[in-house]
Amino acid sequence: MIATKGLTVRFRGEARITYGDLTFGTGSCALLGASGCGKTTLLNAIAGVLTPTAGEVLIDGRNMAAAPQREKDDYRIRNIGFIYQDFKLLEDMTVEDNLRVLKLERVDVSGMDAVLGELGILPLKRRRVRKLSGGEKQRVAIARALVKRPEVILADEPTGNLNYEIGRQIVEKLLEVSRGRTLIAVTHDDRLAGLFDRVLDMNEIARAEVDDDA
């Protein structure tokens, strides 16, 4: 269970985004909203990539916003599968290496072949990421997020670089493999948002204002 209470995050040192209280349980949730309304910032705050200036990020009752960076890193690499819009892959390394990078922090990646197989990219295992198409790279990013069997999956516009048809296939696959977990995904596309269990309109939940203190 993830909950945010009175959350305020400073955004690029210029704006401050304040969120209404939110709760995410098992199941999928799409965050829909205009650009700059604070969707990605919310994911980063939940993942411990950004530290809120105020409020709490409660994960199973523990306020991770106040936890030391080391603990946030540890929680993120073990329990959160984060799928980035621009993939964030090691381009010169192979698909396999991009999953094995988690082993640097002793994360179990023994399910690698199964996950790659499930996403239909097992034959690409030894291929360099640089040589893959956008759709294939997105699948690799999803595989890296899923291979550690995380409790929470955060996806920041996982189809942002893909056309609708491929994007839909990716979302359907993501929903299929994340069944029984918490999936929070940012999207701009109403049609794709409709595939999720729940849709939150972030235009109503988050309020961005210019930070006079900045």
Partner 1 sequence: MLRFALRHMATKRGKLALIALSIVLSASVALLALNVSNQVRGGIVRTAGYYDLIVGPPGSATQLAMNTMFFTDSPLGTIPYEVVERLEQDPRVAEAVPFAMGDSFNGARIIGATAKLLDGKPLRAGEMFGATFEAVLGAQVASRYGLKIGDEIVTSHGLAEHGAEHAASPLRVVGILKTTHTAYDNAVFTGVETVWAVHGHEGEEERGEEEEHGHGEREVCAVLVRTRGFNDYFRLMEDCASDASLIAINPATVLREVLENVDLSARIVYILSAIILVMNIFVVAVVTMLGLYDARREIALMRLIGVRMRTIARLFLLENFLVGALAAILSLVGSRLCIQVLSGFASSMGIVLNAGAVYPAEWGILFGVLALGVLPTAALSQRMARRDGLE
The 8-class DSSP code of residue 113 comes to H
Choice between 154 and 177, CB closer to partner 1: 154
Please identify, using beta-carbon distances, which residue of 84 and 196 lies nearer to partner 1: 84
* Least CB distance to partner 1 at residue 154 (A): 11
Sign of CA dihedral 114, 116, 117, 123: negative
Q: Smallest gap, in angstroms, from Cβ of residue 52 to partner 1?
A: 11
Distance, in Å, from the CA atom of 174 to the CA atom of 151, rounded to the nearest integer, reads 14
Residue 76 vs 139, nearer CB to partner 1:
76
Residue number, 32 or 98, with CB nearest to partner 1: 98
Q: Give whichever of 15 and 199 is closer to partner 1, judged by the CB atom.
A: 15
Please count the residues of the chain.
214
Total of residues contacting partner 1 (CB under 8 A)? 28
Report 174-203 residues binding partner 1 (CB under 8 A): none
- Could you give the string, one character per residue 23-52, with x where binding to partner 1 holds by CB under 8 A and - elsewhere? --------------------------xxx-
Site string for partner 1, 65-104 (x = CB under 8 A): ----xx--xxxxxx-x-x-x---xxx-xxx--x--xxxxx
Q: Which residues pair with 209 in a beta bridge?
A: 16
The whole-angstrom distance between residue 177's C-alpha and the CA centroid of its chain comes to 14
Please state the closest distance from residue 145 (CB atom) to partner 1, in A: 9
In which order are the strands placed within the sheet that holds 80-83?
Answer: 80-83, 152-156, 182-187, 27-32, 198-201
CB nearer to partner 1: pick between 108 and 172: 108
Our measurement of the distance from residue 102's CA atom to the centroid of its chain's CA atoms, rounded to an integer in Å, reads: 16
Write the binding mask 137 to 166 for partner 1: x where contact by CB under 8 A, - elsewhere: -------x----------------------
DSSP conformation letters of 146-197: HTT--SEEEEESTTTTS-HHHHHHHHHHHHHHTTTSEEEEEES-HHHHTTSS
Tokens of 173: 């696959």
Kindly report the CA angle at 89 between 87 and 91, in degrees rounded to 5?
Answer: 125
Tokens of 184: 């929070």
| Residues that bind partner 1 in the complex, under the rule CB under 8 A | 49-51, 69-70, 73-78, 80, 82, 84, 88-90, 92-94, 97, 100-105, 144
